[in-house]
Amino acid sequence: MMSVLFCSVGRRAKLLTDFKKTNSEISVLATDCSQYAPGLYSADKKFITPRVDDPYYLDCILDICKKHNVKAITTLIDPEIEILADNRELFIKQGVLPLCPSKATSLLCFDKFKMFKFLKSKNINTVLTYDNLNDFEVGLEKNEISFPVFIKPRAGSASVGAEKVDDIVNLKSIITSNPKSGYIIQELMVGDDVDVDVYVDCISNKAVSIFSKLKIETKIGGASKTISFKDDALFDLVKEIIPHFEFFGPIDMDFFYCDGQYFLSEINPRFGGAYPHAYGAGVDFHKMIINNVDSKENVESIGDYADDIVMLMYDDVVIKNKSELAN
């Protein structure tokens, strides 16, 4: 039986159970560095691995792929994307489809200031961003930007360290007291917060499926309540943006909608935390992955869902005897 490997699954149990619904003949494998990761217990097979920064981590993942007939691999955390991207060819030689971007694209996605500069160079609307206090203060004097502003770590994940700042005194205090955080300073966007799930076909490299949703509530760095909508202007914009990068498989794009325009905030080249909304509305990236594994190009099905489908995320639990935990 062929397998698909989800790495660093953490709490993402729903994503794995949905995958098993799509095709019961495919084995779903999951890894994490903690036996207490709930997502492990939604998989057909589970593995405890070293941390992603361990020098033996890659060997461990490659060994799992070899021993368990893995045909596709993805990760659910940002720090691991670069590891998979750096070793794309190694996985491909082993017969595994890596659902991750190229190395160059992964570096752009993980560095928010590099992404800002890249988007500006391509004339793509994005959020005004500074990578240091001096440049920000120059922008402030020129009235390019004003308070309040939004700050977050340049290479952060899951909204850790992100916050609104109302004045220069607090801004300087936060940045100078956390020199290792590498903060960026951004224009505070006032408008709709939009999340878009995109499947980029691994053969054609085109966006073949797009699901857009408006964020109603956000918790723990991700959208917990969302409502679907369709906008051809947004779909066209996504299709224009994708060719500037090298993506393979599912990605998550964040936009702000202000004054009748969309502004791209960031791209996470992995399954987004709110992807279960897309699946629940009938947008099945899992089938698209299997098609690509079988060397089949996916047919474009953009906007193939209904408006006003609402996702209401809630907490669930996994109950196990200690002897049943992964080891």
pTM of the model: 0.96
Q: Which helix (H) or strand (E) holds 93?
A: helix 88-93
pLDDT of residue 154 exceeding 80: yes
Question: What pLDDT, in 10s, does the model give residues 171-210?
Answer: 999 998 887 778 999 999 999 999 999 999 999 999 999 9
Confidence grade of residue 222 (pLDDT, cut at 50, 70, 90): confident
pLDDT score for 221: 67
Domains identified in the chain and CATH numbers: 3-106 (3.40.50.20), 128-187 (3.30.1490.20), 190-312 (3.30.470.20)
Question: What pLDDT, in 10s, does the model give residues 295-310?
Answer: 999 999 999 999 999 9
> Average of pLDDT values for 90-99?
98
CA pair distance 287, 279, nearest whole angstrom: 11
Listed residue (188, 141, 143) closest to 165, CA to CA: 188
pLDDT score for 37: 98
Confidence grade of residue 158 (pLDDT, cut at 50, 70, 90): low
Inter-CA distances, 256 with 169, 207, 253, 280, Å? 27, 20, 10, 24
Q: What is the mean pLDDT of the chain?
A: 96
* DSSP secondary structure of 68-92: TTEEEEEESSHHHHHHHHHTHHHHH
pLDDT score for 220: 67
pLDDT score for 201: 98
pLDDT score for 311: 98
pLDDT score for 159: 67
CA pair distance 297, 206, nearest whole angstrom: 10
Confidence grade of residue 56 (pLDDT, cut at 50, 70, 90): very high
Contact 174, 148 (CB under 8 A): no
